[in-house]
Structure 1
Amino acid sequence: MGHNIDELVTLFEASPVAVLTGAGISTDSGIPDYRGEGSPPRTPMSISQFTDDPQYRRRFWAGARVGSSRFSAIQPNAGHIALAHLEAAGRINGVITQNVDGLHRRAGSRTVVELHGSGSTIRCVNCDFRTTRNEVLGWFDALNPGYAERHAGAEIAPDGDAAVAETDAVEVPTCPMCGGMLRPDVVYFGETVPPKVFAAAEVLLNEAGALILAGTSLAVNTGVRLVHRAERRGIPVAVINRGPTAVDARADVRLEGGTTEILTELAARLR
């Protein structure tokens, strides 16, 4: 690993580096990866499922509530913290992430572009009222007294929600302003990244001397678009990941391994 870490360190000589992170950076915090080695293949939720199927919404909110107690215990890991330190030291100009878990901000990163939104924010599809996930889960408890306690043993899925079986009688919380449908403020399959969010990611990339991809297989098109942008600018692209990625053949530097260990060593070398 040392030899490749040297190559990675040289990318920081000219100017700050932009970093794009995916699910692999959060696995060491206890959030399973959709596509990593050893994880069962799962299809992430599509927005049409959520909006069109009341049963799906019941399952979603029930799973979100039952999973929340364990999810709230999840903490940023050393990889998240290493990136926060690199930003504080002026070595990276921020983090662009495909994750919706909020762990980069909690680790102390200041400039974070959340391409796929934030799972902790809930909004109304009608009037755009916004509130926190925790507040809506409180409303769930008021509508479904005792439900969370009865299903406390359910297995946790990659998105942090529990796989609960009995949801037919679940009452789904609605918008307190207009009675409309509430949904997480995240980009689901079938939706696109908001243009101003992608523009914020491009700003970081345009000011960077290199792009590092950490813990992403680049199965999502937005990440690939950013790699194309980096290539057009002629800046080097580095990949840190366990398992293959969509851009391995084109990467200037490729490190096979866990983001926690590699980013921690990188931060130590650049201190």
Structure 2
Amino acid sequence: MPIMRIPYTDPLPAPRILPPSARTAPGAIAALATFLTAPPSPHLRPHASPSPSPSSSSSSPARRDARQHAGTVVLTGAGISVASGLADYRGPHGTYTLNKTYRPVYYGEFAASHRMRRRYWARSFLGWPTLAAARPNASHGAIAALGGLREGGAGGVVAGVITQNVDSFHGVAHPGLRTVELHGYLRACVCLSCRREFDRAEFQRRLAKLNPAWEAFLGEMLASGALSTENPEERRRMGLKTNPDGDVDVPGVDYQTFRYPACPVCLEKGGHEAHGRVEVDADGAVVEGSAAGVLKPAVVMFGESIPQAVKSGAEEMIDGASRLLVVGSSLATYSAWRLVKRAKEQGMPIGILNMGGVRGEEAFFEDIPADNDGRWGFRSAESSDAVLPGLVERLRELRGVPEGHSTGVKAGASI
């Protein structure tokens, strides 16, 4: 199984806009509409898998024929959720942009160190209210609409979504559209011993009960507006640093006063046969030396393996598509970059809608003809919320869909 690696950190070059008209939002909308509605590329070919499964091989005649009528797969990153009030990594106010020394938590550190887990859960405790209150934005709603746009008996313009994000927004915005959460999700915690999952909102309540002083501190920050503002400058002015994975860094705070609970199932059993005993204090907080029942967020941490089922699901979605559109991602993590490489190797047109540079993007567009109007490849540095909603309206006009028809986000939807 692939290991989640530290992101590509070299400076990314400025993008080559394709076609040149995509330098503006209206131009990007027109070019992206052409990209999404063009006939499938005649160069589509099956992936050269070393050991293809007979049931899922893209080389079968039936699979090849189905692929000629397949829709677009959308691969999203942190940039798509910025309009929801969450930070990204490489944008003007991104974590890596503003904090050159930022270093994420590694799986091995979290699993082995009680001290590291205290630090992680303290920061997550402070950051959870912001994530829990955030909602999908217009870009998520536009993808939902694209998944519902049909012409005759054909499927939607978008056939599925692969997301690097852990905010669960895609599942909320379009529950009927197949979505692979490549790096997991923050809506649950998972026990490293018994592998059971637990609701993150309920876990937040358990953390609050174990940490009354921290709960009061969180209440003060909420009352001051430090966590409600979506302006990164305001948050920094108040001494806060918020990261895309939902945690908050408060300089000068002693995280080692924070306490966290064990897996309730392993605690009830006294431990786990493979991992040892669960040790807690009188209040039920984990103590130093406890070996089993460690709860971690249900995300893929750096240094942790991406589950094989998730990896296979993402690859199968790519292998069944006719084109790939990347939205809000610099492809800095190898797990995402390799999927675009896989699509390119199969002759798929690649589209990228991202405000900054993208890792290795020149290889995805090196064979684009000079007269490309978007059908052979698309690249724009406009924001997704400036392009995707307008794209939906343009495609509705082209397909004769009534203006009032909508498959966007339902009001009040939450993670």
| CA apart distance, 1:197 | 0.8
Mapped contact 2:188–2:197 kept (Cα < 8 A): yes
Distance 1:207 1:254 in 2: 22
Q: Does 1:123 align with 2:190?
A: yes
Stretches (4+) displaced over 4 A: none
RMSD: 1.7
Confirm or deny that 1:259 pairs with 2:283: no
Larger RCO (CA within 8 A; separation ≥ 6): 2
Residue pair 2:74, 2:326 contacting (<8 A) in 1 also: yes
Residues 74-114 of structure 1 show CA distances to partners (whole Å, capped at 9, x for unaligned) of 11110011001111221101110000000111122431100
Pairing partner for 2:103 from 24, 43, 51: 43
> Gaps (5+ residues) in structure 1?
none
CA distance in 2, matches of 1:63, 1:129: 23
Counterpart CA distance in 2 for 1:11 and 1:27 is 25
Q: Residue 114 of structure 2 aligns with which residue?
A: 54
Q: 1:6-25, aligned counterparts within 5 Å?
A: 6-13=30-37, 14=39, 15-25=70-80
- From the superposition, tell whether residues 25 and 66 of structure 1 become closer, same or farther in structure 2 (CA, over 3 Å): same
Match of 1:98 in 2: 164
Matches within 5 A, 1:214-229: 214-229=327-342
TM-score w.r.t. the length of structure 1 is 0.94
Q: Spell out the pairing of 1:62-211 with structure 2 (5 A cutoff).
A: 62-89=122-149, 90-110=156-176, 111-152=178-219, 153=221, 155-158=240-243, 159-164=245-250, 165-179=253-267, 180-211=293-324
Residue 222 of structure 1 and its aligned partner are, at CA, apart by 1.2
Distance in 2 separating the partners of 1:88 and 1:156: 38
1:268 — aligned with what? 393
C-alpha change, 1:43 and 1:265, in structure 2 (3 Å) is: farther
Return the alpha-carbon distance in structure 2 between the equivalents of residues 45 and 269 of structure 1.
43
The 10-residue stretch of structure 1 (102-111 or 207-216) with the greater mean CA deviation from structure 2 = 102-111
Instruction: Name stretches of at least 5 consecutive residues in structure 2 with no aligned partner.
Output: 1-23, 40-69, 150-155, 227-239, 268-292, 366-376, 397-415
Secondary structure in structure 1 of the residue aligned to 2:29:
helix
Moved more, 172-181 or 66-75: 66-75
The equivalent residue for 1:231 is 344
1:239 maps to amino acid: I
Evaluate the alpha carbon distance shift between residue 266 and residue 192 of structure 1 in structure 2; reply closer, same or farther with a 3 A threshold. farther
Q: CA deviation at 1:8?
A: 1.7
CA contact (8 A) 1:29 1:77 kept: yes
Tell me which residue corresponds to 2:87: 32
1:120 alignment partner, SS class: strand
Q: Quote the residue 2:411 is aligned against.
A: none
Aligned-pair CA distance for 1:38: 3.3
Cα displacement string for residues 181-237 of structure 1 (whole angstroms, at most 9, x for unaligned residues): 000111111123212112111222222211000000000111111111111210100
Whether the 8 Å CA contact 1:68–1:160 is kept in 2: the answer is yes
* Equivalent-residue separation in structure 1 for 2:105 and 2:388 (angstroms): 30
The count of corresponding residues between Structure 1 and Structure 2 is 271
How far residue 69 of structure 1 moved from its aligned partner, in angstroms, is 2.1
Match of 2:67 in 1: none
Same amino acid, percent of matched pairs? 36
Aligned amino acid, residue 57 of structure 1: R
Quote the Cα distance in structure 2 between the aligned partners of 1:116 and 1:241: 20
Matched, 1:3 2:27: yes
Give 1:247 shift. Answer: 3.5
> In 1, Cα distance between the equivalents of 2:35 and 2:28?
11
* Inter-CA distance 46–264: structure 2 relative to 1 (3 Å threshold): same
- What displacement does 1:47 show? 1.0
AA aligned opposite 1:161: D
Question: Which deviates the most, 48-57 or 70-79?
Answer: 48-57
Shift of 1:19: 0.3
Q: How far, CA to CA, are the matches of 2:87 and 2:246 in structure 1? A: 8
Distance (whole Å) between structure 2 residues aligned to residue 234 and residue 34 of structure 1: 30
Letter in 2 for 1:181: V
Q: The residue matched to 2:321 in structure 1 has which SS?
A: coil
Out of 197-206 and 119-128, give the one that drifted further: 197-206
Contact kept, 8 Å, 2:28 with 2:382, in 1: the verdict is: no
For the pair shown, the structure with the greater C-alpha radius of gyration is 2
Structure 2 residue matching 1:66: 3-state secondary structure: helix
- Asked if 2 retains the 8 angstrom alpha-carbon contact of 1:117 and 1:186, the reply is yes
Contact preservation (8 Å) 1:95, 1:109: no
Cα distance in structure 2, aligned partners of 1:191 and 1:135 = 25
Q: Which digits, 9 at most, give the CA deviation of each residue in 1:108-140, with x for residues without a partner?
A: 243110000011111100111211111111111
Matched residue type, 1:257: E
1:19 match: secondary structure:
strand
- Distance (whole Å) between structure 1 residues aligned to residue 197 and residue 121 of structure 2: 16
